[in-house]
Amino acid sequence: MKTPERTETPEKTTPVGTRERIVRATSRLLQRQGYEGTGIKQISREAEATLGSVYHFFPGGKQELAAEAIRHGDEEFAVLLRAGLGSSADIGEAVVTCTGMLARELRASDWQDGCPISSTALETVGRAPAIEQAVAAAFANWRAIVTEHLVAAGIGAEDARELAGTVVSTLEGAELAAQIARSEEPLLVTGKHLARLLATYR
């Protein structure tokens, strides 16, 4: 028995280990406050872990922890992307669904929860190799997911590759614009334009 037995509501919340609590808290804080704006003490507080535990699991300190949190955000956004893009056989409609989902989540968080990694990505350009690598991997992952769906929709491989980059970039930019304007409009309009662009292929 490695975990304390909790007979009531065992399926509600799977007990999550300290390490994962730290990673999740870090991911959320980086999303909202960026890398420099987030302190390790705040992370340990929010994760309900002690400072000693944080350095126990991440001896590399803040950078190592941030890189792991970026990978967490990577997968989080990938899940949303796959859900949205798989929602319709029409790829244009699917992209519009994506922007709608992003807009809904953004409004629900009072425009706080944008892209989980963009702020940290911008802050660490050319200054934190471990983080930069995780960021680059995330973008590559998202592009690959979009490429796959574009190819499945009948777009040629090379066109699909290029378009996927534009789709991901444009979602990033639109999410930033929506946060700044505190409005869903930039995301929704951009979804419409992306669908229109995709419709010109084939």
Q: Given the rule CB under 8 A, which residues bind a second copy?
A: 32-37, 110-112, 114, 118-119, 121-123, 125-126, 132, 135-136, 139, 162-163, 165-166, 168-174, 176-177, 179-181, 185-186, 189-190, 192-193, 196-197, 200
Q: What is the distance between the alpha carbons of residues 123 and 188, in angstroms, rounded to a whole number? A: 27
127 binds DNA (CB under 7 A): no
> Least distance from C-beta 138 to DNA, angstroms?
21
Q: Which does 59 bind (CB under 5 to 8 A by kind): DNA, a second copy, none?
A: DNA
Q: How far is the CB of 126 from a second copy (least distance, A)?
A: 6
* Helices then strands, each counted (H, E), the chain: 9, 0
Nearer to a second copy, 4 or 26 (CB): 26
One-letter identity of residue 39: G
Rounded distance, CA 177 to CA 46, Å? 28
Count of residues near DNA by CB under 7 A: 18
Which one-letter DSSP state was computed for residue 76?
Answer: H
Least separation, in Å, of the C-beta of 32 and a second copy? 8
Give SS3 for 154: coil
Give, in order, the Cα–Cα distances in Å from 14 to each of 3, 21, 53, 93. Answer: 11, 12, 21, 35
* Alpha helices, DSSP H, located in 86-181: 91-108, 118-123, 129-152, 157-181
For residues 46-65, which are near DNA according to CB under 7 A?
49-53, 55-57, 59, 61-63
Q: Is 167 a residue that touches DNA (CB under 7 A)?
A: no
Contact residues for DNA (CB under 7 A)? 18, 38-42, 49-53, 55-57, 59, 61-63
